[in-house]
Structures are given as C-alpha cells and as structure tokens.
Amino acid sequence: MKLSTVNQSGEMHWSQANITLQARPAGFHLVTSEITQALPQLAELEVGLVHLFLRHTSASLAVNENADPDVRGDLERHFDVLAPRNAPHYRHTLEGPDDMPAHIKSVLTGTELTLPVTAGKLGLGTWQGVYLCEHRDHAGARSLVATVQGRFKG
C-alpha cells in the first residue's frame, strides 16, 4: 500500500508504505539498506522526515553502531541479563520462554523511530544504522509502516 499527497503549493510530499523485513533469529540486525531500498521517494526530498512504526510487540527498532558487529552481540547479551527467560515472576508464559522477555525488551527499546532526511538520504551519523531488534528465537517476517514527509528537491 502506498499513499501520496502533495499540498497546493506543490512543495510538500507525503507517502506511506508497508515494508516487510525478512525473518531473522533473535539479535540486533542492521536493516538500514532494506528500509532505504523500500523507500525510493527519499531520493526526491531535499529535507524531510521518515517515521518508522514496527507493528509487533516482541521486536523493536533502534539506531546504533553500524560498523562493529560486537556491539550488536553485546547488546543482545546485555538484554538477556535485563530480561531473562523463565523468571519466576512471569505469568505470561503460554507462548514460550522467549515471549515475555521479548515483550519487556520491546518496551525498553520501542517500536518507532523518526529519522531526518537530508539531500535525499537518511540523515544518520557516520557510524549509525537502523536496527531491527528481534527478541524471539523463531519469529516470522516483521512489518513496518513507513511514513515519509518532506520538501522536494529543486
């Protein structure tokens, strides 16, 4: 689904797209290129914003280190300490030992990001990337709603 609107002056652009991210194992995964490939309209913008909303309760989104994979591994290990499996105080246990910890991790990290668009590209820092934080061991594909707004180039 893609929706587009332009205001009467012809300067502003709004669009919305559903993006499906491939299934991944538990961990912190760079998805910046998947997102930008799914949003070719970014290249048309001089300045703007992209809002990403993940439509799930056991995964999340974050911006962090895009170069050293040790950061992603360290984050995963630390989150496992913060929200361990089989904690005796969990009552929501019917969906497996990784489910309640996944909900806790999702609340800690969040399911949405708003990122700047500058000169047709995401305005991320040199060492920043967008993460899909997958908190389930065997999750399926994940769905994002991406809303883009901004002023056209030229």
d(CA 77, CA 27): 9
Instruction: Kindly write down the DSSP assignment for every residue of 51-112, as one continuous string.
Output: EEEE--SSEEEEEEESS-HHHHHHHHHHHHHHS-TT-TT----TT-TTHHHHHHHHHHH-SE
Q: What's the pLDDT score for residue 7?
A: 47
**Which residues of the chain are under the pLDDT cut of 50?**
1-3, 5-8
d(CA 85, CA 96): 9
Q: What's the pLDDT score for residue 115?
A: 98
* Domains delineated in the chain: 2-152 (2.60.120.460)
pLDDT digits (tens, 9 = 90+) for 47-64: 999 999 999 999 999 999
Q: What's the pLDDT score for residue 10?
A: 53
State the chain's mean pLDDT as an integer: 94
Q: What's the pLDDT score for residue 153?
A: 86
Pair of tokens at residue 132: 């899909």
